[in-house]
Structure 1
Amino acid sequence: MRRVVFNQKGGVGKSSIACNLAAVSAAEGYRTLLIDLDAQANSTHYLTGFTGDAIPKGITEFFKQSLSSGLAAKKSRVDVQETRFANLYVLTASAELADLQPKLEAKHKINKLRKLLDQLDQDYERIYLDTPPALNFYSVSALIAADRVLIPFDCDSFSRQALYGLLAEIEEIKEDHNEALQVEGIVVNQFQPRASLPQQLLDELLAEQMPVLPVYLMSSVKMRESHQACMPLIHLEPRHKLTLQFVELLHLLESAD
């Protein structure tokens, strides 16, 4: 299973959702890998605590090697990091990804990630891909490499307007590059049920028969505490309501397989 969490709008919780679903998956016994494709490296820091020069080479080194010619490119290796959480592994990102992007685009390396995942499938039962907040080389590579896509949505009007274009872009990538890609659904994040605007926007999406998943992730300070502690919610506070919502969401997604 290869699941990419993607929305080209920033601040909708991509990294939080990808990391916490991966952590729940690992806690339930699946050998799980998270691949961080964002130069901001938020998922890398969240799951490992690494920052700056302390970040292992990870996916950055893989893409650098892919720019080499001949045998060096064919022997590209990845430095997967074992986290302190059982069954959970990370392929780290770094700021250097931003500098590599135009070079990778110029050499048409858009299928390199898919080939890597074909190899990694042998070692990991679940692979999650966290993407940058843009439809760029890395997010398109992830959509080509994955078999399903989850779309975070944070219930504001701008996010709703962007959602329609996003679904159309995913459909185009599916038609041109990855016919097996499935949109699993829209994940409502940072939901405030007592506020009128979020509920109104949600009702409108449901009325339009958008693929909104029936688990709405609540807004909670516990998520910020989780980020600060570099500890996913399933380990920081396993009985918290938001943690249980992540567990429910994962079970919902797995039951649809």
Structure 2
Amino acid sequence: MARVIAIANQKGGVGKTTTAINLSACLAERNRKVLAIDIDPQGNTSSGLGIDKNKLKNSVYQMIIGECTLEECLVHTAIKNLDVLPSNVNLAGAEIELIGIEGREYILKKEVDKIRDDYDFILIDCPPSLNTLTVNAMTTADTVLVPIQCEFYALEGLTQLIHTINLVKQRLNPRLEMEGVVFTMFDARTNLSLQVVENVKSNLKQNIYKTIIPRNVRLAEAPSHGLPINLYDPKSAGAEGYRQLAIEVIEKDDAEMYEKNDISEIKYRNKKKH
């Protein structure tokens, strides 16, 4: 059964979509079956994985309002082991259309539960706001991964995000946990980046991934070519960073499987590697 990770931060420009695109691709590169779900109306994860979001017949929007099934909007990408549920600007209307709908917080979960056994990891790219779409992602997810940019206002809004995660856990999804924090756009040439990392580590009582994603020109260029960084420039610092993050995510997942003593799942996954 898939581990479902929502990638969220209501602060924009922190590398959330970059992480969704490239972590998905690097997990797929390691022979994990991955589904990337784009529930951001900007649709940048979709276009960053080579999908023309303006020519979609069906998208997450049509699925959420009940006009199509999950299978009808699923896109099999050219990247081995990686599928996408794409979105576009139409999704911006979902917030209004869902007003008054009973159980609207669980619409995405009901659809995703049908295909969880088909994947090892399901990653959800959330919009940069705490709205109904983000709540849907959190009711669907097992954990929330929070990218934090290495800048002065790194911790701004993070307290509110953690509060929201705790509220969802208490009222809507008891199994929801913090996957952890990943630092992005790290510039080793500046003291500020180092100070931010140390500040967050000393103030945040959460799992912090060892991998730090560097500020990298090739990472910024890759989406315009519709490619993840491990295909656009496999030897770049950005590609290496997301490969290391994928390894950490896999190791964390395997460790939790062992902790739960889910031996059959571990054997199944190990068999798939070879």
Larger displacement relative to structure 2 (203-212 or 222-231): 203-212
**Structure 2 SS opposite 1:128:** strand
Please give the secondary structure, in 2, of the residue aligned with 1:158.
coil
Identity between Structure 1 and Structure 2 (%): 27
Go from structure 1 to structure 2 and tell me whether the alpha carbon gap of 1:84 and 1:77 turns closer, same or farther (over 3 Å shift): closer
1:105 to 92, 99, 110: 99
Name the residue aligned to 1:90. Answer: 84
Answer yes or no: is the 8 Å Cα contact 2:106–2:136 preserved in 1.
yes
Q: Separation in 1 of the partners of 2:35 and 2:43?
A: 15
CA distance in 1, matches of 2:152, 2:178: 21
Letter in 2 for 1:48: G
State how 1:140-155 maps to structure 2 within 5 Å. Answer: 140-155=135-150
Q: Which residue identity lines up with residue 86 of structure 2 in the other structure? A: T
Q: Which consecutive unaligned segments of at least 5 residues does structure 2 have?
A: 254-274
Looking at structure 2, the residues matched to 216 and 96 of structure 1 have their Cα atoms a distance apart, in angstroms, of 34
1:124 aligned partner: 119
Task: Compute the displacement of 1:131 (Å).
Answer: 0.7
Using the size of structure 1 for normalisation, the TM-score is 0.91
Moved over 6 A (4+): none
Is the counterpart of residue 223 in structure 1 residue 231 in structure 2?
Answer: no
Match of 1:65 in 2: 66
Q: Is 2:25 the partner of 1:23? A: yes
Distance in 2 (alpha carbons) for counterparts of 1:118 and 1:99? 24
- Residues in 2 aligned to 1:77 and 1:238: alpha-carbon distance in whole angstroms: 31
State the shift of 1:76 in Å.
Answer: 6.9
Q: Identify the match of residue 174 of structure 2 among 159, 179, 182.
A: 179
Residue aligning to 2:248: 252
Letter in 2 for 1:93: S
Q: CA deviation at 1:55?
A: 2.4
Residue identity in the other structure for 1:230: G
* Offset of residue 19 of structure 1: 1.0
Structure 1 gaps of 5+ residues are 67-72
1:73-115 CA-to-partner distances (Å, cap 9, x unmatched) read 9x77542001111111111102111112112132131111111
The equivalent of 1:42 in structure 2 is: 44
Contact 1:59 1:78 in 2 (8 A): no
TM-score under structure 2 normalisation? 0.86
